[in-house]
Structure 1
Amino acid sequence: MTHRAPELHTTEDGSLTLYAPTFGEHYHSMHGAVQESEHIYLGLALRERMSSWREGDVPLRLFEVGFGTGLNALLSWREAEERHIPLQYYSIEKFPITPEIYEVLHYEGLGQEREVKDQLLRLHTAPWDEAVELSPFFTLHKLRGDLTTCTFPERLSVIYYDAFSPESQPELWAEELFQRLGKVASSGAILSTYCAKGEVRRRLQRSGFLVERLPGPPGKREVLRGRIP
C-alpha cells in the first residue's frame, strides 16, 4: 500500500483533525476532535485510573496506539500537570506527520494559544525511540514502527486503542495483539477505544479484559472500555 500524505480538516467543535487518504478515514470524529478525545480516552480511561493513584505510587504508564496529531498526548500531558500525577506516555506511530502539518495544528479552548502550540511542537519534535522528559509530570516515549511487530512497554496502567477502523486496518485489531497487551497490563489497567464492534469486544474478553459498552461522544452511540481485573 502506498502511503499518501494526510489532509487537514476542521471538525464541528472547531478543532482540527486529519484525513488519511491511504485508509479513507479521519484521525478523529468529524463531530469534534477534542470532545472525542476528552470523552473516550481521558474521561473513560486516564481520569478513571488517576482517581485511584496516591502520593508515593509509581508513575502511571500509558500506551497509545497511533500518535497521529498528538492530540491525545497533549490532553494527557495537560491532565498530568493539572493533577500533579507523573505519567510515562508511550505512543507508537508508523506514519508520523510532517512539520508542514504539525506546525499549523492548533486547538483553541485549551488555554493560551501560544502555550498549546508550544506543547504540540515539543511533542512532535521530540526524538523517536527514546524517553524525553517534557515536564516533571510527563515523560514522552514515541515509538516509530509497526504495532504488529513492536515490543510493548511493560506494566501498563492505561491503553488508548486509537488505530484506524478494523475495516481499513484489520491487522491492528487481531486477537493476538489484545492478548499481548493483556500480558503487559498491570492489575486494574484500563483500555479504551472508540470501536464498539461485537467481534472486537469478544476478542478483548478472550484476552483477559472485562469489557463494558459505554455511551460515546456526540456522533457515536457506544464505545468500549476494558479492564484487567
Structure 2
Amino acid sequence: MTDKAPKIITTEDGSHSVYLPEINESYHSSHGAYRESIHVFLLYGLEAWYARNRGKFPIRIFEVGFGTGLNAWLTLIWAEQNQVPVLYHTIEPFPLPAEIYNALNFTRMDETLTHYNGYFKRLHQMEWDSGKPISDYFNIKKEKVSLQDVKLYPSDIVYFDAFSPRKQPELWEDIQLKKIHESMNPKGVFVTYCAAGHLKKNLLKMEMELDEVPGPPGKKEMTRAWKKE
C-alpha cells in the first residue's frame, strides 16, 4: 500500500472511517463515523422527513458520496426494521477497493445482526452502474459517476455527503445545488454535515426553508433545508 493509498482509521465512537492522505481528508468525523451518520442523515434527514410524510411510499433517497457505504447500510437497516420501502440512488466516482471495505468494522457489526447478515458487503459487491433490490424493502442504484454528469431522478431526501467545500469546492457550487433542488420532490429535505455560510445562502436563494438543527458530536451545527410545496 502506497503513502497515497486509503487508510482505515478508528474514530472516537469505535467505528471505522477511511482517511485519504492525498487530500488530507477522512470520510467521516473523527468524533465518530457511526454517530455522525446516524445524527445527520438518519435522525435529521430520513426520520424527520418520515415524520412529516407518513404513508407516502416508497421513500426516494439520493446520496452524493457512497464512500464507505455506511449511510446506505444504516438506511437499509432502517427500512427493514420499519418495513418501509426505500428507493436509494447513490453516486461515487472513486469506489473503495475491496481490501478496504472488507476490513471496515461495519462488516463485523453486520455479521452480528442476525436479520441483516451480509448486507454491508452486498452493498459494496453489487455491480456499479446498475440497480437491484438488496432486501424486501430496499432497492439501490449505484453509479460510478460524478454529480456533474449524473442523471437525477425525483427524490424526497438528499444525503449530501461529499468531501468538504475546501476539498471539493466544485460539488458545492450553486449550479450543482440548483440541479439537486430541481430534482427534489415538493416537501423534500436536503441534509449535510456542512454548516458553511455560503451553502446556507445558496439554499436560501433557492427559496428553501432552513432549520436550525444541532450538529453531530464535535460540530455545533449542520444544515437541513426543506423544499417548499
- TM-score for the superposition, normalised by structure 2: 0.92
The 5 Å alignment of 1:76-225 reads 76-107=75-106, 112=112, 118-153=118-153, 155-225=154-224
Instruction: Tell me the alpha carbon deviations over residues 103-143 of structure 1, each in whole angstroms, 9 at most, x when there is no partner.
Output: 11123767825766611110001111121100111001011
In structure 1, the gaps of 5 or more residues are none
CA distance in 2, matches of 1:117, 1:147: 31
CA distance in 2, matches of 1:142, 1:207: 28
In structure 2, the gaps of 5 or more residues are none
User: How big is the alpha-carbon RMSD for the aligned residues of Structure 1 and Structure 2?
Assistant: 1.7
Q: Quote the sequence identity (%).
A: 37
| Runs of 4+ with deviation above 4 angstroms | 108-111, 113-117
Aligned twin of 1:46: 46
Residue 118 of structure 2: SS of its match in structure 1? helix
Instruction: Tell me the alpha carbon deviations over residues 189-224 of structure 1, each in whole angstroms, 9 at most, x when there is no partner.
Output: 011011101101011111232122311111011101
User: 1:149 deviation in Å?
Assistant: 1.9
Instruction: Tell me the alpha carbon deviations over residues 49-75 of structure 1, each in whole angstroms, 9 at most, x when there is no partner.
Output: 1223444x3311100010000000010
CA distance in 2, matches of 1:25, 1:188: 33
CA distance in 1, matches of 2:42, 2:22: 28
CA distance in 1, matches of 2:116, 2:101: 12
The farther-off stretch of 63-72 and 16-25 is: 16-25
User: Retained in 1: the 8 A contact 2:111–2:118?
Assistant: no
Q: How many residues align?
A: 224
The farther-off stretch of 22-31 and 110-119 is: 110-119
Task: Tell me which amino acid in the other structure corresponds to 1:218.
Answer: P
CA distance in 2, matches of 1:6, 1:115: 30
Residue 52 of structure 2: SS of its match in structure 1? coil
